[in-house]
Amino acid sequence: MKQLLRLVAVLAMVTLFSACKKDWNELGSQLIVSDNLKVLSFDDQEIKVSIVKEDSLSSLNTPTSFIGSINDPYFGRTNASVYTEFRMPSTDVNFGETAVADSLVLSLALDDYYGDTLSQLHFRVMEMLEQIETTETDSLDVENNIAIYSSDDFDYDSQELGDLEFLVEPRVDSVVTITLSKDLAQEFLDADVSNFVDNEAFQTFFNGLYIACDDVADNGLLLELDLISEKSKLTLHYHTDEADTLSYDFKINSNADRMTHWTHDYSATQIENLIGLENVNKAYVQGSVGLRTYIDLPELASLQDSNYVIHKAELIIPYMSTELDGIYATPEKLGLAAINDEGNLEGLTEDETIQGSAYFDGNRNELTQEYKFNIARYVHKVVEEGYARRLVLYVPTSVSQPERGLINNYFTDDSTGVSLKLFVSEQ
């Protein structure tokens, strides 16, 4: 190990000396002196890695929504369901006194897939019994926004309006179509015309639909839906004494509230036993509002009186490949933030924003099987200002990204685990 560290140090110095010929803007770069440059490398004795369940995030009106079920031996069961409202594209709709229902068809536009496209999904559609309320009025008659989270539930009628056994054919299927109850279609036609005067009246009359999937036994699939596509709609087919084939489309436009409801079950995995431990050898990051990894750096406090100038700091996150990577892709990019004393996330603005995303990195390197972050300014704040020494690793835009990855924190002859390399010189 010592020989390896010496080799790393030599290579690092060569890299730094080469970089000195360029116009660097990294912290302390103007003070690099070849005689006193050192490399500090922290191993598993000084970095603690732990796992936490991600806090519920807002999934209201995201660009896309998800529906489906996955049964992953490493990450357990993940289910996604959808609540959605509908809107009329016109006002004062009148279907006619002699209107008779022919069918009611729900269409959902497909945008992408995640998981095993050979897995069959069983869709079930129910009518919502309450609206997705996004505002409320307080005692002073002031209207306030209501946060809608991915774990929130809304009441729905357990009586199914329709179901569908669906096996996706990639690059061919662009829409999921589910035929719903003709009784509901007739209810629309028999309802008083006052319910179709405008969208406010219609929303009171019809709260929307809840669309879910049954649990899958193996692998499984999540479908990414574009609900505000022109193809996503609820089509009422009917006829009257005057016309044989009529239809009306209720849309899911940008004014229709919609959300993905995410659930996770880790009971059949190692995760249940690892959550809450102070330090683990294998960690997890998971989108779909799943899992995050905490990284604690307690040894940074020892540098406060060291007189070191920090030139570069690399946080290296090795990840583990599995036989299921071809089905469940690992994230192309991970996010990294600090956890303050109140437990809230704080962006590493100096490294990510000031230095730029290309410098900050966080991209997956398939050749080295690792993610790397450049966090020199963060480390400087920890050392000089006593800033929070806990970081959190997560899947960006988790509510709309179901990708997951295993973090390797094993220290063996062939593996180094999560590590922090500091390139410093003495003042």
Length of the chain counted residue by residue: 427
> How many Cα neighbours within 13 Å face the side chain of 121?
30
> How many Cα neighbours within 13 Å face the side chain of 417?
21
3-class state of residue 298 by DSSP:
helix
| Cα separation, 290 vs 286, whole angstroms | 5
| Cα separation, 347 vs 374, whole angstroms | 14
CA of residue 393 relative to chain centroid, distance? 13
Category of 405 on φ-ψ map: left (φ > 0), alpha (ψ -120 to 50) or beta: beta
What are the DSSP calls for 64-106, one per residue?
A: SEEEEEEEETTTEEEEEEEEE--B-SSSS----TT-EEEEEEE
SS3 letters across 228-255:
CCCCCEEEEEEECCCCCCEEEEEECCCC
| Cα separation, 3 vs 40, whole angstroms | 14
Give the per-residue pLDDT at 25: 41
**With the CA atoms of 157, 109, 89 and 191 taken in that order, what torsion angle do they form, in degrees rounded to the nearest 10?**
-30
> How many Cα neighbours within 13 Å face the side chain of 353?
6
| Cα separation, 159 vs 174, whole angstroms | 28
Give the per-residue pLDDT at 42: 52
Placement of tokens 């583990």 in the chain: 320
Which residue stretches of 167-305 are H helix? 182-190, 199-205, 271-274
| Cα separation, 204 vs 227, whole angstroms | 21
Give the pLDDT means over successive 10-residue stretches in the chain (427 positions).
40 37 40 52 69 92 96 97 97 96 98 96 98 77 82 96 95 92 97 97 97 96 97 98 96 95 96 94 97 93 78 92 94 96 89 91 95 94 90 96 95 80 78
Kindly give the pairing relationship between strand 76-84 and strand 65-72.
antiparallel
| Cα separation, 179 vs 235, whole angstroms | 10
Provide φ and ψ at 201, rounded to 5°: -70, -40
pTM, two decimals, is 0.86
Judge whether 372 and 317 are in contact, CB under 8 Å. yes
Residues 6 or more apart whose CB falls under 8 angstroms from that of 174 comprise 109, 110, 231
